[in-house]
Amino acid sequence: MRGVFTVALAVAWRVLHNVFTTPTLLIPSLLFPLFFFTAFAGGLSRVSEVPGFDYEPGYTAFQFVFVLLQSAAFGGVFTGFGIARDFESGFARRLLLAAPRRGGIVLGYAMAAVVRWLVTASVLTVVALFAGVKVHGGAVDLFGLYGLALLVNVAALLWSAGVAMRFRTMQAGPVMQMPVFLVLFFAPVYVPLALLQGWIEAVASVNPATALLESGRSLLAGQPEHVPLAFALGGALILAFSAWAFRGLRRAEAAGG
Amino acid sequence: MALAEQTAQLARRSVIRTARQPANVIGPFVFPLMLLAVNAGGLNPAAQLPGFPTDSFLAFALAVPFIQGALFATMNAGTDLARDIQTGFLNRLSLTPMRSIALLGGQLGGAVVMGLTQALVYLAVGLAVGVRIESGVLGAVVLILLSALIVLAFGALGAFAALRTGSGEAVQGLFPVLFVGLFLSSMNMPRNLIEIGWFQTVATLNPVSYLIEGVRSLIIEGWNPEALALAFGVAVAIGVVGLTASSWALRERLTRT
């Protein structure tokens, strides 16, 4: 087990060093959530006047929860891009040869994704508070909200790691990104689920992101709803994508990196 | 070979080259329609807001793919031209009797052909899902012409970036800027219904708003001379700036060559 953590810490440190010393990697992951928050909360605030829209903390808070979860998911995906880059450059091949316990490689990337997202989430939260997000939930509720986002972050990283280790090229970027984008946007992004109609309502009702999003919003509003279900879904996603990522690692090993 | 023939040959090459790269074809056709589906589904309740110009958010949002498609055309035209510079094709071409303006015209001609095809697809999809073009058949023709002009204008900006930097990555780096321009416009809400003051100001100053509103007026209003004059005016202005800048950059590049 000690070997796994030694490898994980080394991989995580390297990823974080790369990210935080390379502006082209750091800045987009910080700016994109802020941009979406600005565009949605700023441009669409009138949507809160739609009959039936009853989210008490207001539209800015309603969008903040979505952007927080989105930043978590894309934090995982962006770290997945880095894994693909490592394979493309040949670094991952050397890593596979050098690591005594290869499971630590996936763990290390996951740890890096979490730290990376925590930085993004901190910046986003500060900006959101300045923008007037009203927090009705208590400390436990907020802990739950950020905990949910953390699960999303790890699940997205494991999904992307599985893709990166199977394709081992940066060209797999859209394969990592597009499903995450679709799952997130086929949830009730702009209005609550109850106001959706037609095909989008049908899709959103069975989309796991809906439970995470609605639960997150309920936590920020201080009226928790379906929280155990959301955490169970988050945990299930992590379990499923862990299997996906570790099988990807085996594929990469078999292919010789 | 006459100038027109040279331009046509290079435009043909540009179209074939784009068509042979699935990523360059799928992106401009699929992504804008996907965003349309997501936004039209999620924001449909916004059409119930007092003062909203139509009762169908889908019809309201159909204008966006035309502009988003133009952004993709910018990227494709610029990236292909940058590749010609990086691979030395431009250097070899400069040794032939080919006139430099034909190179620019050909590249942009190819982008316009792609843009026209995209516009026809977006229009067909809109009609297929039940959107009625209020300005009728003639309005649809004007809509396609306006789209082509917008593609030409943005394509010229992409060509300028390519000629100035000679780097495909630098051209790709323009995409987030243009994407931000799209989101900070009246893309999802009429300007008079944007509640947040600074956002409304940004959307009013943003030329993209006028391009979207011109296209949108043909779909949901019928004939609105002011919206059309502004849209054509803005497209021509961007085009003149882009073409002037790219012609200058081409001269500079060929002098260096």
Say if the Cβ atoms of B46 and A189 lie within 8 Å: no
> C-alpha distances in angstroms, A226 versus A60, A63, A192, A193?
22, 19, 15, 14
> C-alpha distances in angstroms, A12 versus A26, A121, A199?
15, 18, 42
pLDDT at site B78: 82
Over residues B152-166, mean pLDDT: 88
Torsions phi, psi for A196 (to 5 deg): -75, 150
Over residues B60-70, mean pLDDT: 91
Of B187, B179, B155, give the one whose Cα is nearest residue B61.
Answer: B187
pLDDT at site B256: 60
Share of chain B above pLDDT 90, in %: 40
CA distance A197 to chain B (A): 8
Chains A–B, number of C-beta pairs less than 8 Å apart: 77
Minimal-distance CA residue of chain B relative to A194: B45
CA A149 – CA A31 distance, rounded (Å): 18
CA distance A213 to chain B (A): 14
CA distance A104 to chain B (A): 33
Mean pLDDT of chain A: 91
> C-alpha distances in angstroms, A71 versus A38, A210, B37?
13, 16, 22
pLDDT at site B177: 74
- Of A95-109, A212-226, B45-59, B78-92, which range is least confident? B78-92
Residue B1: pLDDT above 70? Answer: no
Q: How many domains does chain B have?
A: 1
Q: Check: CB of residue B43 under 8 Å from CB of residue B62.
A: no
CA B80 – CA B64 distance, rounded (Å): 24
> C-alpha distances in angstroms, A166 versus A15, A162, A256, B43?
20, 6, 12, 37
Q: How confident is the model at residue A170 (pLDDT cuts 50, 70, 90)?
A: confident
Q: What is the pTM of this model?
A: 0.84
Over residues A232-242, mean pLDDT: 97
For B43, the domain range is 3-256
The amino acid present at B39, given as its one-letter code, is N
Over residues B162-183, mean pLDDT: 78
Residue B195: pLDDT above 60? Answer: yes
Which one of B38, B56, B201, B212 makes the best mutation probe of the A interface by having the most chain A beta carbons within 10 Å?
Answer: B38
Q: Check: CB of residue B134 under 8 Å from CB of residue B228.
A: no
Which one of A22, A35, A46 makes the best mutation probe of the B interface by having the most chain B beta carbons within 10 Å?
Answer: A46
Give the one of B38, B45, B203 whose C-beta lies nearest to A185's C-beta: B38
Give the one of B41, B48, B189 whose C-beta lies nearest to A43's C-beta: B189
Residue B211: pLDDT above 70? Answer: yes
Q: How confident is the model at residue A25 (pLDDT cuts 50, 70, 90)?
A: confident
For A73, the domain range is 2-255
**Chain B residues within 8 Å of chain A (Cβ atoms):** 23, 34, 38-39, 41-46, 48-49, 176, 180, 183-184, 187-189, 193-196, 198-199, 203
Over residues B79-85, mean pLDDT: 82
Within 8 A by CB and 6+ apart from A201, the residues are A193
CA A81 – CA A157 distance, rounded (Å): 10
Q: How confident is the model at residue A24 (pLDDT cuts 50, 70, 90)?
A: confident
Give the one of B42, B187, B195 whose C-beta lies nearest to A46's C-beta: B195
Say if the Cβ atoms of B45 and A200 lie within 8 Å: no
Q: How many domains does chain A have?
A: 1
Q: Which of A83-97, A151-165, B12-26, B78-92 has the highest mean pLDDT?
A: A151-165
Q: Which helix (H) or strand (E) holds A144?
A: helix A139-167
Say if the Cβ atoms of B42 and A190 lie within 8 Å: yes
